């Protein structure tokens, strides 16, 4: 398995990357921003993505988004093909894109929003911490990406302050904690509280 910085030579994988992201969202029943093959190809062209390949077979992917004049970057679109899940590949891809982000944008804060407990755990181990949305980028273009998420109404109802996703941030100016043990119960409880709070309100409105 090779996990490498993607280039224009990987354009042929753009469609399967988009299809895998969309299918994953459908199976999980959670919101996820849709991406087009053209959007993915731009990331490959700029060297802002990593791809996992088993020979010539697509196995996984993740890319970098840059916001606020390079003050913030996000590691987005993390996906592992169904044939390669439960092998620890997501963690390796995430570590590789995190390293690439630090190399290309050493002063930037790295952030992400997710509903996935496994991704929260990986982020925490890399040095991210849970934060409020107000600590993330205020670039409107980033939040436009949430419009295709099925939970977008939650974000609008809370004036972009909260959603089912949890915001997580890595600040290079902050000394990381030595203890990287993850309290999975805390993340599960946080997710459960959000679902109970926001989904019940949604039911009442319908």
How remote is the C-alpha of 121 from its chain's centroid? Answer: 12
- Whether the pLDDT of residue 153 is over 60: the answer is yes
Give the per-residue pLDDT at 163.
85
Q: What gap in Å lies between CA 32 and CA 23, rounded to an integer? A: 10
> Closest Cα to residue 119, out of 80, 148, 90?
90
User: Mean pLDDT throughout 103-127?
Assistant: 90
User: Mean pLDDT throughout 59-68?
Assistant: 94
Domains of the chain are: 2-205 (3.40.630.30)
Lowest average pLDDT, out of 84-93, 113-122, 180-189, goes to: 180-189
Task: Kindly report whether the global pTM for this prediction surpasses the value 0.75.
Answer: yes
- Residue 190: DSSP 8-state: H
- Whether the pLDDT of residue 42 is over 90: the answer is yes
- Whether the pLDDT of residue 89 is over 80: the answer is yes
pLDDT band at 1 (very low <50, low <70, confident <90, very high): very high
Give 19-56 as a DSSP string: HHHHHHHHHHT-------HHHHHHHHHTT-EEEEEETT
- Mean pLDDT, the chain, rounded, equals 86
Give the per-residue pLDDT at 165.
85
């Amino acid at each position: 398995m090779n996990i490498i910085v993607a280039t224009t030579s990987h354009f042929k994988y753009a469609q399967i990357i988009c299809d895998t992201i969309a299918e994953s969202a459908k199976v999980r029943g959670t919101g996820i921003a849709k991406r087009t093959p053209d959007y993915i190809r731009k990331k490959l062209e700029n060297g802002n993505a990593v791809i996992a390949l088993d020979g010539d077979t697509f196995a996984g992917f993740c890319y970098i988004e840059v916001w606020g004049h390079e003050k913030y970057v996000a590691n987005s679109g993390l996906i592992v093909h169904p044939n390669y899940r439960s092998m620890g590949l997501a963690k390796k891809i995430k570590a590789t894109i995190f390293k690439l982000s630090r190399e290309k944008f050493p002063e930037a804060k790295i952030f992400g929003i997710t509903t996935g407990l496994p991704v929260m755990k990986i982020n925490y181990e890399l040095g991210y911490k849970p934060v409020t949305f107000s600590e993330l980028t205020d670039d409107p273009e980033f939040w436009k990406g949430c419009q295709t998420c099925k939970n977008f109404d939650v974000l609008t109802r809370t004036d972009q302050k909260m959603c089912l996703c949890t915001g997580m941030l890595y600040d290079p100016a902050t000394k990381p904690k030595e203890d990287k043990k993850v309290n999975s119960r805390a993340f599960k409880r946080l997710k459960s509280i959000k679902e109970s709070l926001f989904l019940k309100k949604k039911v009442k409105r319908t």
